[in-house]
Structure 1
Amino acid sequence: MRLDIKHWQLLEAIARHGSLGQAAEAIGVTQSALSHRLAEAERRLGDAIFEREGRRLKPTPAGQILLDTAQSILPELHRAEQDFERTAANASYLVRIGVAAFSAYHWLPGFLQSLPLQREKLQIDLVAAATQNAEHALLSGMTDLLLSPFNIEHPALISSPLMQDELMLITHPQHPLAGKEHIEAQDLVNEHYLTYSLDTLPGFEYERFIRPSGIRLRHIQIVEMTDAITEMIAVDLGVSILSRWALTRPLSQQLVTATPVIPNGLPLTWYLLFRRSDNKNSAVQQTRTFLLNWFDRETFPAP
């Protein structure tokens, strides 16, 4: 093997941060030292791994193969060390779960109560970072299982459909739009629109509903947590288009109201994802099976 572990760490850091300076800071070495390390790796392999694109480093086609592998094997090595430490200490298995896009955990108590007796050897941790940066959280090993309202196409990941959901307009119960059978994009032009991110996610309301209509939202406010958006809507400080399932609890408590978007609605599919390298990790696979079975049995009330 021509590359050492330090070279694989270098590749993963540059792939994640895009520049030598940020990668060096993440690893904890000087930029000069990291530059020499990259040059050493390229000498060992006999060709360039990256090419410059402005101030950023872009992988060559051959280099991309190395980056994909680095993003796959390093979390697995980290996980092996953790498993060794827990086994040596006779500790339980730890599985970290994240929820992408929406900070929705109303399902968690019911799921934990449904676990069989094996849960005594299974510790479930929640990873809040997955809400804002889902793909990185999963690829880096911060989380082991990800509930996501969009699929992530990556060779290092495996996904399974989890459940069907719907994007709906969420308003105060007394809001004028709450009484409509459905809304059109034009209805939102003068509304104070709350969103957790300005990133355009495939399959969400901007791509499927707002942009095709040609309208321009005049009042947009970024609120990075779904719970905070819900609290603002509950006192009539704005509206938003969100997952009906993610707001199961405030909808059932009638703190907010959900109105369909366009006559046929905007269906949303949730997925359960894990790293391909965890295919033989018994704790991750057992928890994945528990989640798939529980969501298959569970029904969520209509708004």
Structure 2
Amino acid sequence: MELRHLNLIKTIAEEKGITKSLGKLFLTQSAVSHQLKDIEERIGAKIFYRTKNQWLLTDEGKILYDSAVIILKELNSAMVKVNELREGYMGCLRIATECYTSYHWLPSFLSKMNILYPDLEVKIIIEATHKPLEKLLSNELDVAITSDPATDKSIRYIELFKDEVIAIVQKDNILARKKYLNAPDFSDQTLIIHSYPMETVTVYQHFLKGHQTQPKQVIAIPLTEVALEMVKTGMGIMTLPLWSLKPFVNSPELLQIKIGQKGLIRTHYAAIRHEDSSKKYILDFIENLKEELSNR
């Protein structure tokens, strides 16, 4: 039994015959008769009683008609939702970043998105932090924000913004006199990071690792405020994106120093699966996010 068969039964039943059904079915009378005969042969029963003035459903026909009403209604409802999804009116979007510091700007942005797109449900998947590309490929995320693009051809990257990672040192630290830090400068310092593994720490992955340099000691402190207080007391140094420091750094005890002569610049991307490139609600979300971050 095909959907066209259910539609034919439903239409004939509601129009009480073939003649009035032709305009809705876009078929000739012979085509309708042929399809109806084919259906009856398949199920081994008559679907309609043919009278002079109208066609009435048999008991078997009533079962098929009732099913046709339900199935076709559900199908139409599903197609409406699919079209709304494709046109960007609604959807569920799961997002995560590779670094906890990046979540600082998400809440205010999501509140704006809720006003613009009230039927777009956005879920922040915290447990995917540090491994957003892995979760994207396993279909546990829809958008992964990363500064470390992989070479997997199934992922599409859309550039969001660039930022600079800088070092934060206490004013009496020996490094405070330097205009910028070289890799060896870290070798006798305690580096305070937000969390392990080190492969997710930008200064290690994109600076120290290439120079085969390790800090003297590494301490993981997940709270930025606490970590900065430790830097103030001379317990270590930190590296953070310049923009993420604005809410925290307002102290004469702390100095900001470039990492490397040209600075440690990162490019952040919104990563999505290529198969989702036609989903308007995802692309609209990313475009709004890009605009929000460019104005930050």
TM range (shorter): 0.5 to 0.7
Between 1:207-216 and 1:99-108, the stretch displaced more is 207-216
Deviation at 1:295, TM superposition (A): 2.3
Q: In structure 2, what is the Cα distance between the partners aligned to 1:209 and 1:144?
A: 30
The normalised TM-score by structure 1 is: 0.58
Q: Look up the match of 1:97.
A: 95
Partner of 1:151: 149
Q: Which amino acid aligns with 1:137?
A: K
Distance 1:235 1:277, change over 3 A: same
Q: Name 1:242's counterpart in structure 2.
A: 240
| Residue-by-residue CA offset, 1:182-221 (whole Å, 9 max, x unaligned) | 122222222112343344469x433543245454432123
Q: Distance in 1 between matches of 2:226 and 2:247?
A: 12
Identity %: 19
Cα deviation, residue 139, structure 1: 1.5
Task: Kindly tell me the number of residue pairs found equivalent between the two proteins.
Answer: 209
Over aligned residues, Cα RMSD in angstroms?
A: 3.4
Distance in 2 separating the partners of 1:171 and 1:230: 14
Partner of 2:291: 293
**CA–CA separation in structure 2 for the residues paired with 1:222 and 1:205:** 14
Distance 1:92 1:275, change over 3 A: same
Aligned to 1:122: 120
Q: Which has the larger radius of gyration?
A: 2
Residue 267 of structure 1: aligned partner: 265
- Any unmatched runs of 5+ in structure 1? 1-79
2: distance between equivalents of 1:198 and 1:276?
A: 28
Paired position in structure 2 for 1:194: 192
Q: Is the 8 A contact 2:90 2:117 kept in 1?
A: no
* Distance change >3 Å, CA 289–CA 191, structure 1 → 2: same
Is 2:165 aligned against 1:170? no
Q: Check whether the contact 1:193–1:240 (CA below 8 A) recurs between aligned residues.
A: yes
Give 1:98 deviation, angstroms.
0.8
Give secondary structure in 1 for the equivalent of 2:260.
coil
1:231 has 2:229 as partner: no
- Decide whether aligned partners of structure 1 residues 278 and 229 sit closer, same or farther in structure 2, where only a CA change above 3 A counts: same
SS in 2 for 1:250: coil
What amino acid is the match of 1:235? Answer: M
Match runs of 1:204-223 below 5 Å: 204-223=202-221
Q: Which runs of 5+ in 2 are unaligned?
A: 1-77
Q: CA deviation at 1:255?
A: 8.9
CA distance in 1, matches of 2:250, 2:275: 39
The superposition leaves residues 234-276 of structure 1 with CA deviations (integer Å, 9 ceiling, x where unpaired) of 2233223333334442236889643101221111111111112
